[in-house]
Chains A and B, each alone.
Chain A
């Protein structure tokens, strides 16, 4: 089966789209910008919301509020009529003529977060609240605005729990891999894929009887502590803190049915590769995980792209290997 190798605006239009990544610099913001460009090409207007970001976005308790934006904060070129989340102290530095429409909610290093609409095209500094409730408030306000066709959330994997408070969110995972870390990334993709596809926990199960509930980090050591647990439902509360290999997850599944707190509508991976060909990368991925790759690097020039042809070849090659049981 051949995979679609470019993103389609229809995937994102009319939806709340949450972009996660395994780490900082995994391409989340770049993917958000690419989606924005796609939607603009179709004449659609977006609301861009940050879920806070790794590094400078969170304001530690007691830390002073910044008066000016720092260079780490993601800057977007927005078009007239587009909506974005930003911080109160960033407003004087935006040249898109921001009109305030909602807030303040939550806080960031640059003060309270507000929702603004660009009254003309220009630059905007994206900032967002770290707290889930504040993010939900912003998203709720943005999605009901007249003229807004899609909401894009520049999220983080370590705060994936935020997704649980959003209205019908679609999850995308931005992945960046190179030759050195491709095997490790492939494993993380496989684990992530497995976890986001687990069934949703039904609270009545907890009342019915014994259940094994993992609240915090789930590692090989944690598993060892609970090795006697058998044939009971297992709830993994925070999938972002699972540090198990796929085979360990498989072994855990054999001991009891796994559940996650909140069902997640996962739409796929967008993978940017460096120094490694899709063929080689897909070699490390189970079939269903490979099939969930929506797109390669959206900044890859489509026409005559090495990926388009090579990925097709890879798909054929990988299928053959699966049949042989090499993978």
Chain B
């Protein structure tokens, strides 16, 4: 299986697929790590395996009929900690046997290398690392026990470290917490008992000193380590202390009128504290020895722990995919063999737009579309949804090739070697290139990539920044060349008229503006410019028929309804009327005279 490729920023930005990635909510740190590794796969088998994982995670969840058991599964996943980096090597996108790299985008071929962690040095471990391993094991075991055999096999769950867990569980007052206990190092029992006795002695002695201070000087420390007293009172107490009438006090000046006093520990207290300190040093050595022993046990179980991490990563990530698919009504894509130039979707939804429409209270139309030739040309009204069609297709293709389900009733597509977007509005440019220059650079890259392996390219208003005549010629040439390449699919959204090579291209148009209704609205509502932009957009939305129609013509061109849309957007009526007149004149000039038409017919 090939390694995943990073998604190029301009494709991500055009498709807004990252907004969906961000909604994946795995619960464990390993599942979260997997989300960060999302990339574009070009391997058919790997993608099918990811889809199988999603379905298997869903089945595993469904097998937990009891809601409490499902909650328990989520709880264990969310409580599972990351084990120390030196132990965990969960690199890669989980599917085993990954190797090699491939060009994902025509413009971005660098594959992301994932470095494996180096082995650990147990001497460097401490309490925290052991705590993390214990907590991990407790929750991993919890997950393992909740899964059925099918899920365990699918995701690689096994549990062979009960002994290690038992040893770690010997320290800590609950299932998760951890401390070094006498059960880890029996010699600790005696030392700790000694420390407890000495602590008690010291505490008792301190209490007695405080009590004596209260009796002798009327000073109540009330658990505080020091007190501030007026100078005369402090000096009086200190004097009495020196005369043996009460405990000794140490004082520091606080300000010109008061002093900060502390009880001076007596010999008994000092001896108890010193003995405690020595016992504590002994304890520390024993604890360190126990930590080293426990660390060695953990390191010995490294292989199993790494497998656990991989299993959790794969399962938790797939479970998050399943939950998202349920939430958004996503389905498993049907993949076609590589090199088949055919994309088909039914009821496809571009989630970011669908949600925006819902928020704005306007209708959203899912997309039905089929492209079964190497080139497709989509034309139609301004604001008629051409770009959204491209976005929807790139969105779905990207998700499918990232191993995710797609928001559609059905989606059938080949596995492409790369995907690219040319001419997307708002794409950042660089190196002194104009918008046109940038498009041409991208076109060069796409043509180069398409010669190496089949890919999917969408062109959004290609060459719209240059003169109409030259743009038309350029596009025609690009269409012809792309149509000649095997397996690559190119879809253009454009207002430019273009002829399609026989059998290699399909023309589509957006159903577009409902002209009758638009005219009636424009006539009945003269003051469009006074309405808010939101209201105008809602109106246009209600007049547009966001539907792709396969025209079947060899030449692709449809009217753009530009003037009607401009009027609906509030452009001055006189200006639009004048434009209409000019358009009519231009159409008249272009139309062949009646005599010529007759000649043409005679010739035929």
- Please tell me if the beta carbons of A275 and B256 are within 8 angstroms of each other in the complex: yes
Query: What is the chain B residue whose CB lies nearest that of A298?
Result: B224
Contact for B126 among A91, A121, A122, CB less than 8 A? A91
- Please tell me if the beta carbons of B228 and A297 are within 8 angstroms of each other in the complex: yes
How far is A41 from B132 in the complex, measured between Cα atoms in Å? 35
Query: What is the chain A residue whose CB lies nearest that of B277?
Result: A95
**Which residues of A are found within 8 Å of B176, using beta-carbon distances?**
101
- Please tell me if the beta carbons of B131 and A301 are within 8 angstroms of each other in the complex: no
- Please tell me if the beta carbons of B284 and A121 are within 8 angstroms of each other in the complex: no
**Which residues of B are found within 8 Å of A77, using beta-carbon distances?**
225
- Please tell me if the beta carbons of B257 and A306 are within 8 angstroms of each other in the complex: yes
- Please tell me if the beta carbons of A88 and B224 are within 8 angstroms of each other in the complex: no
How far is A60 from B280 in the complex, measured between Cα atoms in Å? 33
How far is A302 from B233 in the complex, measured between Cα atoms in Å? 13
With A119-B179, A178-B255, A299-B227 already in contact, the answer to whether A112 and B219 are too (CB < 8 A) is: no
- Please tell me if the beta carbons of B220 and A37 are within 8 angstroms of each other in the complex: no
- Please tell me if the beta carbons of B126 and A299 are within 8 angstroms of each other in the complex: no
Q: Can you sample 27 A-B contacts with CB below 8 Å?
A: A34-B224, A37-B223, A38-B223, A40-B223, A41-B222, A41-B223, A88-B126, A91-B128, A92-B127, A92-B288, A97-B179, A98-B127, A99-B172, A99-B173, A100-B127, A100-B172, A101-B177, A114-B131, A119-B173, A119-B179, A120-B195, A120-B199, A274-B255, A275-B257, A298-B224, A299-B227, A306-B257
CB distance from A30 to the nearest CB of B (A): 9
- Please tell me if the beta carbons of B222 and A299 are within 8 angstroms of each other in the complex: no
Q: What size tier do the contact residues of chain B reach? A: 35 or more
**Which residues of A are found within 8 Å of B226, using beta-carbon distances?**
299
Per-position 1/0 for B254-268, Cβ under 8 A of A:
111110100000000
B337 interface residue, CB < 8 Å from A?
A: no
How far is A100 from B227 in the complex, measured between Cα atoms in Å? 33
A104 interface residue, CB < 8 Å from B?
A: yes
Contact for B128 among A37, A103, A299, A304, CB less than 8 A? A103
- Please tell me if the beta carbons of A306 and B230 are within 8 angstroms of each other in the complex: yes
**Which residues of B are found within 8 Å of A299, using beta-carbon distances?**
224, 226-228, 260
Per-position 1/0 for A75-99, Cβ under 8 A of B:
0010000000000110110010111
With A112-B128, A303-B218 already in contact, the answer to whether A99 and B223 are too (CB < 8 A) is: no
**Which residues of A are found within 8 Å of B220, using beta-carbon distances?**
301-303
**Which residues of B are found within 8 Å of A297, using beta-carbon distances?**
228
CB distance from A249 to the nearest CB of B (A): 31
B203 interface residue, CB < 8 Å from A?
A: yes
How far is A229 from B288 in the complex, measured between Cα atoms in Å? 65
Contact for B229 among A112, A117, A273, A301, CB less than 8 A? A301
**Which residues of B are found within 8 Å of A89, using beta-carbon distances?**
126
Main secondary structure of the interface of A (DSSP, over half): mixed
How far is A92 from B125 in the complex, measured between Cα atoms in Å? 11
Contact for A99 among B179, B203, B255, CB less than 8 A? B179
CB distance from A311 to the nearest CB of B (A): 15
- Please tell me if the beta carbons of B128 and A274 are within 8 angstroms of each other in the complex: no
B178 interface residue, CB < 8 Å from A?
A: yes
**Which residues of B are found within 8 Å of A114, using beta-carbon distances?**
128, 131
With A101-B177, A299-B226, A299-B227 already in contact, the answer to whether A120 and B126 are too (CB < 8 A) is: no
Query: What is the chain B residue whose CB lies nearest that of A300?
Result: B228
With A99-B173, A178-B255 already in contact, the answer to whether A301 and B227 are too (CB < 8 A) is: yes
**Which residues of B are found within 8 Å of A111, using beta-carbon distances?**
128
How far is A88 from B436 in the complex, measured between Cα atoms in Å? 57
CB distance from A213 to the nearest CB of B (A): 25
A33 interface residue, CB < 8 Å from B?
A: yes
Residue with the greatest number of chain A CB neighbours at <10 A, chosen from B127, B174, B176: B127
**Which residues of B are found within 8 Å of A304, using beta-carbon distances?**
233
**Which residues of A are found within 8 Å of B128, using beta-carbon distances?**
88, 91, 100, 103-104, 111-112, 114
Per-position 1/0 for B476-518, Cβ under 8 A of A:
0000000000000000000000000000000000000000000
- Please tell me if the beta carbons of A100 and B219 are within 8 angstroms of each other in the complex: no
**Which residues of B are found within 8 Å of A38, using beta-carbon distances?**
223
How far is A307 from B505 in the complex, measured between Cα atoms in Å? 93
How far is A87 from B374 in the complex, measured between Cα atoms in Å? 61
CB distance from A186 to the nearest CB of B (A): 17
Query: What is the chain A residue whose CB lies nearest that of B227?
Result: A301
- Please tell me if the beta carbons of A37 and B224 are within 8 angstroms of each other in the complex: yes
**Which residues of B are found within 8 Å of A178, using beta-carbon distances?**
255
**Which residues of B are found within 8 Å of A275, using beta-carbon distances?**
255-257
CB distance from A212 to the nearest CB of B (A): 26
- Please tell me if the beta carbons of A120 and B196 are within 8 angstroms of each other in the complex: yes
Query: What is the chain B residue whose CB lies nearest that of A146?
Result: B174
Query: What is the chain A residue whose CB lies nearest that of B224?
Result: A37
- Please tell me if the beta carbons of B203 and A121 are within 8 angstroms of each other in the complex: yes
CB distance from B448 to the nearest CB of A (A): 41
- Please tell me if the beta carbons of A100 and B179 are within 8 angstroms of each other in the complex: yes
**Which residues of A are found within 8 Å of B195, using beta-carbon distances?**
120
**Which residues of B are found within 8 Å of A37, using beta-carbon distances?**
222-224
With A37-B223, A91-B126 already in contact, the answer to whether A100 and B255 are too (CB < 8 A) is: no
How far is A178 from B176 in the complex, measured between Cα atoms in Å? 49
CB distance from B127 to the nearest CB of A (A): 5
Per-position 1/0 for B198-238, Cβ under 8 A of A:
01000100000000000000111011111111100100000
How far is A76 from B131 in the complex, measured between Cα atoms in Å? 23
How far is A89 from B124 in the complex, measured between Cα atoms in Å? 11
Residue with the greatest number of chain A CB neighbours at <10 A, chosen from B192, B219, B228, B256: B228
Per-position 1/0 for A116-130, Cβ under 8 A of B:
010111100000000
Other than the given A92-B126, A300-B227, 18 more pairs (CB < 8 A) read A37-B222, A38-B223, A88-B127, A91-B126, A92-B287, A99-B171, A100-B127, A100-B131, A100-B177, A100-B179, A114-B128, A117-B177, A121-B199, A298-B224, A299-B226, A299-B260, A301-B228, A303-B220
With A92-B284, A306-B230 already in contact, the answer to whether A274 and B254 are too (CB < 8 A) is: yes
**Which residues of A are found within 8 Å of B174, using beta-carbon distances?**
101
**Which residues of A are found within 8 Å of B218, using beta-carbon distances?**
303
Query: What is the chain A residue whose CB lies nearest that of B129?
Result: A88
Query: What is the chain A residue whose CB lies nearest that of B172?
Result: A99
How far is A300 from B227 in the complex, measured between Cα atoms in Å? 6
**Which residues of B are found within 8 Å of A298, using beta-carbon distances?**
224
Residue with the greatest number of chain A CB neighbours at <10 A, chosen from B174, B179, B199: B179
The residues in B between 414 and 469 inclusive whose CB is less than 8 angstroms from any CB of A are: none
- Please tell me if the beta carbons of B131 and A122 are within 8 angstroms of each other in the complex: no
Contact for B127 among A91, A119, A120, A306, CB less than 8 A? A91
Query: What is the chain B residue whose CB lies nearest that of A95?
Result: B280
Per-position 1/0 for A244-261, Cβ under 8 A of B:
000000000000000000
Closest 6 CB pairs of A and B: A37-B223, A99-B179, A274-B255, A100-B131, A275-B255, A88-B128
Residue with the greatest number of chain A CB neighbours at <10 A, chosen from B128, B178, B224: B128
Query: What is the chain A residue whose CB lies nearest that of B219?
Result: A301
CB distance from B210 to the nearest CB of A (A): 12
The residues in B between 164 and 206 inclusive whose CB is less than 8 angstroms from any CB of A are: 171-174, 176-179, 192, 195-196, 199, 203
Residue with the greatest number of chain B CB neighbours at <10 A, chosen from A40, A89, A91, A303: A91
**Which residues of A are found within 8 Å of B229, using beta-carbon distances?**
301
**Which residues of A are found within 8 Å of B284, using beta-carbon distances?**
92
How far is A33 from B227 in the complex, measured between Cα atoms in Å? 13
Query: What is the chain B residue whose CB lies nearest that of A87?
Result: B128
How far is A111 from B226 in the complex, measured between Cα atoms in Å? 32
CB distance from A145 to the nearest CB of B (A): 10
CB distance from A66 to the nearest CB of B (A): 14
**Which residues of A are found within 8 Å of B228, using beta-carbon distances?**
297, 299-301
CB distance from A47 to the nearest CB of B (A): 14
How far is A303 from B218 in the complex, measured between Cα atoms in Å? 8
CB distance from B177 to the nearest CB of A (A): 5
Contact for A98 among B179, B225, B233, B255, CB less than 8 A? B179
**Which residues of A are found within 8 Å of B254, using beta-carbon distances?**
274
How far is A121 from B179 in the complex, measured between Cα atoms in Å? 15
Query: What is the chain B residue whose CB lies nearest that of A119?
Result: B179
Query: What is the chain B residue whose CB lies nearest that of A103?
Result: B128
